[in-house]
Amino acid sequence: MIWETPLSDHDLSWVLEPVRLLFSERLFSAAHPEALPNGTEVLTDLDRAMLLENSQELPREYRIWQDVQANAVSPFYCTDAYATISMDIENAIAPFWEQWEPIRMALVKRRLRKTQTGFDNFVNTLLYDAVEQLKQVSAARYCLGPDGEPVLEALFQVYHAGFYPCGWRRGNHIVCFDPSVLEGHGTGCLLDYPV
């Protein structure tokens, strides 16, 4: 379903819920494991998580994560509906980037001073990917209607639980990384990040 009339405030709130997660204390908190989709595989080994996320040669029980995401996005990516909602999505995210910039600069200084923690590095490296994925969830909700797209909705559930989605098991189960195992992990909104 594609919205054929202007969105109500309620509908727009639901569409933008994924990108508004950026302003929440939930993102990367690992504080809500009960909110993970049923069957989620949770990893505590960052190297393994990055292997599953980035490798083209995986054990047989896994699918290539980038392919899974691309297949989920491709049915609506080049539609007029996607173009229609894109500006609302970008406008919803703009304040986050404005508030994030001084934090990003502080993280760069920590890296240069060699005082960056494992969690600092994780956030600095993967935040942009998280934003792009959450944008796709919002776009899918707008383009596809109330049911959204199952892979992207599972991805959102993982972020909403405070974890990082990094792979897909055959048999339709998402894989995620638990960022709470990283040195320097703390809870609270990333916009309140201690710098």
DSSP string covering 82-134, please? HHHHHHHHHHHHHHHHHHHHHHHHHHHHHHHHT---HHHHHHHHHHHHHHHHH
Q: What is the pLDDT of residue 7?
A: 59
Backbone angles phi, psi at 168, to 5 degrees: -145, 125
153 Cβ contact list (under 8 Å, min separation 6): 137, 140
Task: Work out whether strand 41-43 and strand 173-177 pair parallel, antiparallel, or are unpaired.
Answer: parallel
Q: Which two tokens stand for residue 114?
A: 């060699």
Are 185 and 169 in contact, with CB atoms under 8 Å apart? no
Are 167 and 52 in contact, with CB atoms under 8 Å apart? yes
Q: Which helix (H) or strand (E) holds 5?
A: none
Mind listing the pLDDT tens digit of every residue in the chain (195 residues)?
455 545 565 588 999 999 999 999 999 999 999 999 999 999 999 999 999 999 999 999 999 999 999 999 999 999 999 999 999 999 999 999 999 999 889 888 988 999 889 999 999 999 999 999 999 999 999 999 888 899 999 999 999 999 999 999 988 899 999 999 999 998 677 888 766
Q: What is the pLDDT of residue 94?
A: 96
* Listed residue (43, 36, 41) closest to 181, CA to CA: 43
Q: What is the pLDDT of residue 1?
A: 47
Single pTM value for the model: 0.92
Q: What is the pLDDT of residue 9?
A: 57
